[in-house]
Structure 1
Amino acid sequence: MELFFGLVTGVLFGFLLQRGQVLRYDKQLGALRLKDMTIVKFMLSHIMVAMVGLYLLNDLGLVKLSIKSTVLGANILGGLIFGLGWGLVGYCPGTSVGAVGEGRFDALWGIAGMLVGAAVFARAYDGLLGTVYTWGDYGKITLPSLLGISHWLVIVVLLAAFAGILRLLERKGL
Protein backbone atom coordinates (compact mmCIF):
# COMPACT_ATOMS: atom_id res chain seq x y z
CA MET A 1 0.00 0.00 0.00
CA GLU A 2 2.92 2.36 0.76
CA LEU A 3 4.31 1.84 -2.73
CA PHE A 4 0.91 2.64 -4.21
CA PHE A 5 0.69 5.89 -2.25
CA GLY A 6 4.26 6.69 -3.29
CA LEU A 7 3.33 6.16 -6.93
CA VAL A 8 0.18 8.28 -6.64
CA THR A 9 1.98 11.15 -4.90
CA GLY A 10 4.85 10.93 -7.42
CA VAL A 11 2.47 11.12 -10.37
CA LEU A 12 0.58 13.98 -8.72
CA PHE A 13 3.81 15.87 -8.04
CA GLY A 14 4.96 15.31 -11.63
CA PHE A 15 1.61 16.62 -12.88
CA LEU A 16 1.98 19.72 -10.71
CA LEU A 17 5.56 20.22 -11.93
CA GLN A 18 4.26 20.17 -15.50
CA ARG A 19 1.29 22.45 -14.81
CA GLY A 20 3.52 24.88 -12.90
CA GLN A 21 5.82 25.05 -15.95
CA VAL A 22 8.88 24.30 -13.81
CA LEU A 23 10.00 21.54 -16.20
CA ARG A 24 10.81 24.13 -18.84
CA TYR A 25 14.48 24.84 -19.48
CA ASP A 26 13.86 28.60 -19.64
CA LYS A 27 12.31 28.51 -16.14
CA GLN A 28 15.27 26.50 -14.84
CA LEU A 29 17.75 28.93 -16.36
CA GLY A 30 15.72 31.90 -15.12
CA ALA A 31 15.85 30.53 -11.57
CA LEU A 32 19.61 29.99 -11.76
CA ARG A 33 20.05 33.56 -13.00
CA LEU A 34 17.63 34.90 -10.33
CA LYS A 35 15.47 36.43 -13.06
CA ASP A 36 12.44 34.11 -12.91
CA MET A 37 11.26 32.90 -9.52
CA THR A 38 8.62 30.47 -10.81
CA ILE A 39 10.52 27.50 -9.39
CA VAL A 40 11.17 29.22 -6.06
CA LYS A 41 7.47 30.11 -5.73
CA PHE A 42 6.46 26.57 -6.70
CA MET A 43 8.79 24.98 -4.15
CA LEU A 44 7.89 27.40 -1.35
CA SER A 45 4.21 26.64 -1.92
CA HIS A 46 4.87 22.91 -1.79
CA ILE A 47 7.05 23.22 1.31
CA MET A 48 4.24 25.10 3.05
CA VAL A 49 1.66 22.41 2.22
CA ALA A 50 4.01 19.53 3.06
CA MET A 51 5.10 21.11 6.35
CA VAL A 52 1.52 21.45 7.59
CA GLY A 53 0.46 18.08 6.18
CA LEU A 54 3.35 16.04 7.57
CA TYR A 55 3.18 17.50 11.07
CA LEU A 56 -0.62 17.16 11.14
CA LEU A 57 -0.37 13.51 10.06
CA ASN A 58 2.39 12.99 12.65
CA ASP A 59 0.30 14.56 15.44
CA LEU A 60 -2.66 12.36 14.45
CA GLY A 61 -0.41 9.29 14.69
CA LEU A 62 -0.85 8.41 11.01
CA VAL A 63 2.85 8.77 10.15
CA LYS A 64 6.09 8.75 12.08
CA LEU A 65 8.70 11.34 11.20
CA SER A 66 12.20 9.99 10.65
CA ILE A 67 14.54 12.87 11.45
CA LYS A 68 17.97 12.52 9.85
CA SER A 69 21.20 13.75 11.38
CA THR A 70 22.25 17.29 10.53
CA VAL A 71 25.75 16.92 9.08
CA LEU A 72 27.10 20.16 7.65
CA GLY A 73 29.94 18.54 5.67
CA ALA A 74 27.62 16.17 3.81
CA ASN A 75 24.96 18.84 3.27
CA ILE A 76 27.41 21.41 1.94
CA LEU A 77 29.26 18.98 -0.32
CA GLY A 78 26.01 17.45 -1.60
CA GLY A 79 24.53 20.90 -2.21
CA LEU A 80 27.59 22.02 -4.16
CA ILE A 81 27.54 18.92 -6.36
CA PHE A 82 23.77 19.20 -6.89
CA GLY A 83 24.05 22.90 -7.74
CA LEU A 84 26.95 22.32 -10.11
CA GLY A 85 25.01 19.61 -11.96
CA TRP A 86 21.88 21.76 -12.14
CA GLY A 87 23.90 24.70 -13.43
CA LEU A 88 25.69 22.63 -16.07
CA VAL A 89 22.68 20.72 -17.36
CA GLY A 90 19.88 23.19 -16.68
CA TYR A 91 17.70 20.55 -15.01
CA CYS A 92 17.66 19.06 -11.55
CA PRO A 93 17.09 15.28 -11.32
CA GLY A 94 13.32 15.49 -10.75
CA THR A 95 12.64 18.04 -13.42
CA SER A 96 14.83 16.19 -15.91
CA VAL A 97 12.61 13.10 -15.60
CA GLY A 98 9.50 15.23 -16.09
CA ALA A 99 11.05 17.10 -19.02
CA VAL A 100 11.88 13.83 -20.79
CA GLY A 101 8.24 12.85 -20.24
CA GLU A 102 7.30 16.01 -22.13
CA GLY A 103 9.65 15.11 -24.98
CA ARG A 104 12.61 17.30 -24.06
CA PHE A 105 15.37 14.81 -24.70
CA ASP A 106 18.16 17.23 -23.77
CA ALA A 107 17.07 16.47 -20.20
CA LEU A 108 18.47 12.94 -20.62
CA TRP A 109 21.78 14.53 -19.59
CA GLY A 110 20.19 15.28 -16.22
CA ILE A 111 19.08 11.67 -15.83
CA ALA A 112 22.52 10.44 -16.86
CA GLY A 113 24.09 12.78 -14.31
CA MET A 114 21.71 11.52 -11.64
CA LEU A 115 22.60 7.87 -12.38
CA VAL A 116 26.36 8.54 -12.53
CA GLY A 117 26.16 10.60 -9.34
CA ALA A 118 24.26 7.83 -7.53
CA ALA A 119 26.82 5.24 -8.67
CA VAL A 120 29.77 7.40 -7.58
CA PHE A 121 28.09 8.10 -4.24
CA ALA A 122 27.39 4.38 -3.65
CA ARG A 123 31.02 3.56 -4.44
CA ALA A 124 32.40 6.36 -2.23
CA TYR A 125 29.92 5.99 0.66
CA ASP A 126 32.15 3.90 2.96
CA GLY A 127 34.98 6.40 2.58
CA LEU A 128 32.64 9.33 3.21
CA LEU A 129 31.42 7.87 6.51
CA GLY A 130 34.78 8.47 8.20
CA THR A 131 35.31 11.91 6.70
CA VAL A 132 32.56 14.09 5.23
CA TYR A 133 29.86 12.50 7.42
CA THR A 134 31.73 13.54 10.56
CA TRP A 135 32.24 17.21 9.67
CA GLY A 136 29.76 19.26 11.68
CA ASP A 137 27.53 16.42 12.87
CA TYR A 138 24.88 18.01 15.10
CA GLY A 139 22.69 14.93 15.44
CA LYS A 140 18.95 14.72 14.91
CA ILE A 141 17.87 18.31 15.49
CA THR A 142 14.88 20.30 14.34
CA LEU A 143 14.08 23.99 14.72
CA PRO A 144 11.38 23.32 17.34
CA SER A 145 13.67 21.06 19.39
CA LEU A 146 16.54 23.53 19.09
CA LEU A 147 14.34 26.43 20.21
CA GLY A 148 12.45 24.35 22.77
CA ILE A 149 9.03 25.41 21.44
CA SER A 150 6.03 23.79 19.80
CA HIS A 151 6.48 22.76 16.19
CA TRP A 152 3.20 24.52 15.38
CA LEU A 153 4.62 27.86 16.50
CA VAL A 154 7.60 27.36 14.16
CA ILE A 155 5.25 26.32 11.36
CA VAL A 156 3.07 29.42 11.78
CA VAL A 157 6.13 31.70 11.74
CA LEU A 158 7.55 29.95 8.65
CA LEU A 159 4.18 30.06 6.89
CA ALA A 160 3.99 33.81 7.50
CA ALA A 161 7.58 34.32 6.30
CA PHE A 162 7.09 32.18 3.19
CA ALA A 163 3.79 33.92 2.39
CA GLY A 164 5.59 37.26 2.71
CA ILE A 165 8.34 36.09 0.36
CA LEU A 166 5.75 34.87 -2.16
CA ARG A 167 3.89 38.18 -1.98
CA LEU A 168 7.14 40.13 -2.44
CA LEU A 169 8.13 38.05 -5.47
CA GLU A 170 4.71 38.59 -7.02
CA ARG A 171 4.89 42.35 -6.47
CA LYS A 172 8.33 42.46 -8.10
CA GLY A 173 6.96 40.49 -11.06
CA LEU A 174 9.41 37.66 -10.54
Structure 2
Amino acid sequence: MIYKHIVVLASSSGGLKALSQVLSSLPPDFPAPIVIVQHLSPHYPSMLAEILSRRCSIIIKEAQTGDKLEPGTVYIAPPDQHLLINLDGTLSLTHTQKVRFVRPAADVLFKSAAISFQEGVIAVVLTGKDSDGAAGVQAVKEMGGTVIAQDRASSEFFSMPDAAIRTGVVDYILPLDAIAATLLNLVSK
Protein backbone atom coordinates (compact mmCIF):
# COMPACT_ATOMS: atom_id res chain seq x y z
CA MET A 1 0.00 0.00 0.00
CA ILE A 2 1.19 3.49 -0.80
CA TYR A 3 -1.30 5.34 1.38
CA LYS A 4 -1.99 5.41 5.10
CA HIS A 5 -5.61 6.58 5.10
CA ILE A 6 -8.80 5.50 3.41
CA VAL A 7 -11.98 7.57 3.21
CA VAL A 8 -15.31 5.74 3.35
CA LEU A 9 -18.34 7.84 2.63
CA ALA A 10 -22.09 7.21 2.87
CA SER A 11 -25.01 9.16 1.46
CA SER A 12 -28.61 8.58 0.51
CA SER A 13 -31.39 11.06 -0.27
CA GLY A 14 -29.78 14.31 -1.42
CA GLY A 15 -26.51 12.48 -1.96
CA LEU A 16 -25.78 13.47 -5.56
CA LYS A 17 -25.54 17.14 -4.67
CA ALA A 18 -23.52 16.44 -1.51
CA LEU A 19 -21.13 14.03 -3.23
CA SER A 20 -20.67 16.47 -6.12
CA GLN A 21 -19.73 19.27 -3.76
CA VAL A 22 -17.29 17.24 -1.67
CA LEU A 23 -15.60 15.35 -4.51
CA SER A 24 -15.31 18.35 -6.86
CA SER A 25 -13.37 20.14 -4.11
CA LEU A 26 -10.70 17.41 -3.92
CA PRO A 27 -7.54 17.51 -6.06
CA PRO A 28 -6.78 14.73 -8.56
CA ASP A 29 -3.74 13.77 -6.47
CA PHE A 30 -5.77 13.23 -3.29
CA PRO A 31 -3.45 10.96 -1.25
CA ALA A 32 -6.02 8.32 -0.23
CA PRO A 33 -8.60 6.08 -1.88
CA ILE A 34 -12.27 7.00 -1.37
CA VAL A 35 -14.97 4.33 -1.25
CA ILE A 36 -18.62 5.37 -1.43
CA VAL A 37 -21.98 3.82 -0.68
CA GLN A 38 -24.86 5.84 -2.12
CA HIS A 39 -28.30 4.27 -1.75
CA LEU A 40 -29.57 3.69 -5.30
CA SER A 41 -32.53 1.95 -6.88
CA PRO A 42 -31.72 -1.72 -7.51
CA HIS A 43 -33.96 -1.68 -10.60
CA TYR A 44 -31.81 0.53 -12.83
CA PRO A 45 -28.14 0.70 -13.80
CA SER A 46 -26.31 3.47 -11.98
CA MET A 47 -25.02 6.52 -13.81
CA LEU A 48 -23.57 7.99 -10.61
CA ALA A 49 -19.89 7.42 -11.45
CA GLU A 50 -20.38 8.91 -14.91
CA ILE A 51 -22.26 11.95 -13.59
CA LEU A 52 -19.69 12.64 -10.87
CA SER A 53 -16.79 12.15 -13.30
CA ARG A 54 -18.10 15.05 -15.37
CA ARG A 55 -18.07 17.30 -12.30
CA CYS A 56 -14.81 16.28 -10.60
CA SER A 57 -11.10 16.15 -11.38
CA ILE A 58 -10.49 13.06 -9.23
CA ILE A 59 -10.83 9.60 -10.87
CA ILE A 60 -14.29 8.10 -10.24
CA LYS A 61 -15.37 4.57 -11.10
CA GLU A 62 -17.98 2.00 -10.21
CA ALA A 63 -16.39 -0.60 -7.93
CA GLN A 64 -15.79 -4.15 -9.10
CA THR A 65 -14.72 -7.23 -7.18
CA GLY A 66 -10.93 -7.41 -7.20
CA ASP A 67 -10.32 -3.67 -7.64
CA LYS A 68 -7.11 -2.71 -5.84
CA LEU A 69 -7.52 0.53 -3.91
CA GLU A 70 -5.43 3.40 -5.25
CA PRO A 71 -5.01 6.92 -3.89
CA GLY A 72 -6.74 9.62 -5.91
CA THR A 73 -9.48 7.22 -6.99
CA VAL A 74 -13.12 7.09 -5.93
CA TYR A 75 -14.87 3.70 -5.94
CA ILE A 76 -18.69 3.72 -5.90
CA ALA A 77 -20.76 0.70 -4.87
CA PRO A 78 -23.02 -0.52 -7.68
CA PRO A 79 -26.76 -0.82 -7.03
CA ASP A 80 -28.02 -3.80 -5.03
CA GLN A 81 -24.58 -5.06 -3.92
CA HIS A 82 -22.75 -4.62 -0.64
CA LEU A 83 -19.21 -3.30 -1.02
CA LEU A 84 -16.48 -4.59 1.29
CA ILE A 85 -12.83 -3.69 1.73
CA ASN A 86 -10.53 -6.67 2.18
CA LEU A 87 -7.39 -6.87 4.33
CA ASP A 88 -5.20 -6.81 1.21
CA GLY A 89 -6.66 -3.48 0.03
CA THR A 90 -8.93 -4.96 -2.62
CA LEU A 91 -12.69 -4.68 -2.95
CA SER A 92 -15.39 -7.34 -2.92
CA LEU A 93 -19.02 -7.11 -3.92
CA THR A 94 -21.63 -9.36 -2.33
CA HIS A 95 -25.35 -9.85 -2.74
CA THR A 96 -25.93 -10.90 0.86
CA GLN A 97 -28.95 -9.89 2.93
CA LYS A 98 -29.99 -6.24 3.07
CA VAL A 99 -28.87 -4.31 6.15
CA ARG A 100 -31.35 -1.75 7.52
CA PHE A 101 -33.45 -2.45 4.41
CA VAL A 102 -30.70 -1.35 1.98
CA ARG A 103 -28.07 -2.89 -0.23
CA PRO A 104 -25.45 -1.49 -0.53
CA ALA A 105 -25.25 -0.51 3.13
CA ALA A 106 -22.83 1.93 4.70
CA ASP A 107 -22.65 -0.20 7.84
CA VAL A 108 -21.21 -3.11 5.82
CA LEU A 109 -18.63 -0.89 4.10
CA PHE A 110 -17.63 0.96 7.27
CA LYS A 111 -17.22 -2.22 9.34
CA SER A 112 -15.06 -3.88 6.68
CA ALA A 113 -12.93 -0.72 6.40
CA ALA A 114 -12.49 -0.61 10.19
CA ILE A 115 -11.27 -4.21 10.25
CA SER A 116 -8.93 -3.73 7.28
CA PHE A 117 -7.51 -0.24 7.94
CA GLN A 118 -8.19 0.41 11.65
CA GLU A 119 -6.96 3.90 12.68
CA GLY A 120 -6.38 4.82 9.03
CA VAL A 121 -10.12 5.00 8.30
CA ILE A 122 -11.92 8.30 7.93
CA ALA A 123 -15.68 7.68 7.77
CA VAL A 124 -18.04 10.37 6.50
CA VAL A 125 -21.84 10.31 6.79
CA LEU A 126 -23.64 12.73 4.48
CA THR A 127 -27.29 13.59 3.88
CA GLY A 128 -29.81 10.77 3.86
CA LYS A 129 -32.88 9.17 5.38
CA ASP A 130 -32.88 6.33 7.94
CA SER A 131 -29.88 5.45 10.11
CA ASP A 132 -27.50 3.52 7.86
CA GLY A 133 -23.92 4.21 8.88
CA ALA A 134 -24.54 4.59 12.63
CA ALA A 135 -23.34 1.08 13.52
CA GLY A 136 -20.50 1.44 11.04
CA VAL A 137 -19.14 4.65 12.55
CA GLN A 138 -19.05 2.95 15.95
CA ALA A 139 -16.90 0.17 14.45
CA VAL A 140 -14.61 2.77 12.86
CA LYS A 141 -14.20 4.61 16.15
CA GLU A 142 -13.59 1.37 18.11
CA MET A 143 -10.65 0.67 15.78
CA GLY A 144 -9.20 4.17 16.22
CA GLY A 145 -10.53 5.80 13.06
CA THR A 146 -11.97 9.27 12.54
CA VAL A 147 -15.66 10.07 11.98
CA ILE A 148 -17.22 13.06 10.22
CA ALA A 149 -20.94 13.86 9.91
CA GLN A 150 -22.61 16.54 7.82
CA ASP A 151 -24.36 19.17 9.94
CA ARG A 152 -28.11 19.72 10.08
CA ALA A 153 -28.10 23.11 8.33
CA SER A 154 -26.41 21.84 5.16
CA SER A 155 -28.11 18.40 5.01
CA GLU A 156 -31.03 17.99 2.66
CA PHE A 157 -32.08 15.03 4.84
CA PHE A 158 -30.54 14.86 8.32
CA SER A 159 -31.58 11.36 9.51
CA MET A 160 -28.36 9.55 8.55
CA PRO A 161 -25.93 12.17 9.90
CA ASP A 162 -28.09 12.60 13.00
CA ALA A 163 -28.05 8.84 13.70
CA ALA A 164 -24.25 8.89 13.44
CA ILE A 165 -23.99 11.94 15.71
CA ARG A 166 -26.27 10.32 18.30
CA THR A 167 -23.78 7.44 18.68
CA GLY A 168 -21.47 9.89 20.46
CA VAL A 169 -18.42 8.90 18.38
CA VAL A 170 -18.41 11.64 15.73
CA ASP A 171 -15.21 13.73 15.76
CA TYR A 172 -16.36 16.48 13.39
CA ILE A 173 -19.86 17.82 12.63
CA LEU A 174 -19.33 20.00 9.58
CA PRO A 175 -21.19 21.99 6.96
CA LEU A 176 -20.94 20.38 3.54
CA ASP A 177 -18.57 23.05 2.23
CA ALA A 178 -16.00 22.30 4.98
CA ILE A 179 -15.80 18.53 4.52
CA ALA A 180 -13.34 18.39 1.60
CA ALA A 181 -10.85 20.72 3.31
CA THR A 182 -11.08 18.67 6.50
CA LEU A 183 -10.46 15.46 4.56
CA LEU A 184 -7.40 17.00 2.91
CA ASN A 185 -6.09 18.07 6.30
CA LEU A 186 -6.68 14.65 7.87
CA VAL A 187 -5.07 12.61 5.08
CA SER A 188 -2.04 14.91 5.07
CA LYS A 189 -1.17 14.06 8.69
- TM-score of the superposed pair, with normalisation by structure 1: 0.23
Kindly name which structure, 1 or 2, has the bigger radius of gyration based on alpha carbons.
1
Higher share of residues assigned helix: 1
Higher share of residues assigned strand: 2
- TM-score of the superposed pair, with normalisation by structure 2: 0.22
Higher relative CO (Cα under 8 Å, sequence separation at least 6) belongs to: 1
